[in-house]
C-alpha cells in the first residue's frame, strides 16, 4: 500500500467531514462580511444561485463576527490567495456535478437546513428538492469534499478545525436553531 508523502508526517490531515464543516463556516463568514461578500469574490460560483438570502444574511451579520483568521480560512476555501485558487475552484472543478451538489448542500446547511420558503427540511427532503436520491446526494457531496481534502493535504494546508470543535459548534448551532 502506497502512503502519500503528505500523510507520513505527524500533522493532522483534512477529512471530507472537516472540509464540509469548514466550507459551511466559510460561507457563513463570507455572508457576514460587510457589503454581503468579499471584495475579490470570484464569479465562478454564486452562493445565491439557489435561494435569496436577504433576511438570513442580515441575521447572520448580527450573530457572526468573523475574526481575521476566519476570513483568511474563508479565502483559502472559496476565493484563493495570491495566484492560488480557492479549493472550491481548483481540482474539484473536474467534477462539476459533485462540486455543485457540495456547494448546494453547504448553502443549505449554512441557511440552517431551511428551504427557500423558510421551512425546516431533512437531508432527504433537501435531496428530493434538488432532484436526487439521498444516497446519491451524499455520495456526490462526500466525493467533492474528499477531492478538496486531498488537495488541502497535498498543499499542506493546516487543519484549522478539529472534529471535536466542529461537533461542538454543530451541536451549539442546533440548540440555537431549536430555540428560535
Structure confidence by residue, pLDDT tens digits, 104-149: 999 999 888 888 888 899 999 999 999 999 999 999 999 999 999 9
Quick check: is 1 in a domain? no
Other beta carbons within 10 angstroms of residue 152's beta carbon come to 22
pLDDT of residue 2: 59
Other beta carbons within 10 angstroms of residue 101's beta carbon come to 23
pLDDT of residue 131: 95
Quick check: is 180 in a domain? no
Count the domains in the chain. Answer: 1
pLDDT of residue 33: 84
pLDDT of residue 168: 57
The rounded distance, in Å, linking the Cα atoms of 66 and 28 is: 9
pLDDT of residue 24: 92
- What is the pTM (predicted TM-score) of this model? 0.75
Q: Which domain holds residue 64?
A: 13-38+46-162
Question: How many CA atoms within 13 Å lie on the side-chain side of 178?
Answer: 6
pLDDT of residue 119: 86
Quick check: is 167 in a domain? no
pLDDT of residue 143: 97
Task: Give the 3-state secondary structure of residue 9.
Answer: coil
Quick check: is 76 in a domain? yes
The rounded distance, in Å, linking the Cα atoms of 136 and 28 is: 25
Burial (CB count within 10 angstroms: exposed 0-12, middle 13-18, buried 19+), residue 9: exposed
- Regions in the chain scoring below 70 on pLDDT: 1-10, 35-63, 161-180
Quick check: is 173 in a domain? no
pLDDT of residue 129: 92
Quick check: is 33 in a domain? yes
Amino acid at each position: 500500500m502506497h502512503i502519500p508523502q503528505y500523510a507520513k508526517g505527524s500533522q493532522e490531515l483534512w477529512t471530507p467531514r472537516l472540509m464540509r464543516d469548514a466550507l459551511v463556516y466559510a460561507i457563513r463568514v463570507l455572508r457576514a462580511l460587510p457589503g454581503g461578500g468579499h471584495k475579490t469574490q470570484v464569479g465562478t460560483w454564486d452562493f445565491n444561485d439557489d435561494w435569496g438570502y436577504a433576511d438570513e444574511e442580515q441575521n447572520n451579520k448580527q450573530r457572526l463576527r468573523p475574526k481575521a483568521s476566519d476570513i483568511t480560512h474563508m479565502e483559502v476555501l472559496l476565493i484563493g490567495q495570491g495566484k492560488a485558487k480557492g479549493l472550491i475552484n481548483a481540482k474539484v472543478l473536474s467534477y462539476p456535478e459533485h462540486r455543485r451538489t457540495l456547494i448546494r448542500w453547504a448553502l443549505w446547511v449554512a441557511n440552517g437546513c431551511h428551504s427557500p420558503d423558510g421551512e425546516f427540511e431533512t437531508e432527504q427532503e433537501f435531496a428530493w428538492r434538488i432532484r436526487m436520491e439521498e444516497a446519491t446526494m451524499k455520495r456526490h457531496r462526500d466525493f467533492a469534499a474528499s477531492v478538496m481534502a486531498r488537495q488541502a493535504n497535498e498543499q499542506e494546508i493546516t487543519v484549522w478545525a478539529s472534529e471535536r470543535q466542529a461537533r461542538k459548534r454543530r451541536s451549539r448551532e442546533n440548540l440555537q436553531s431549536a430555540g428560535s
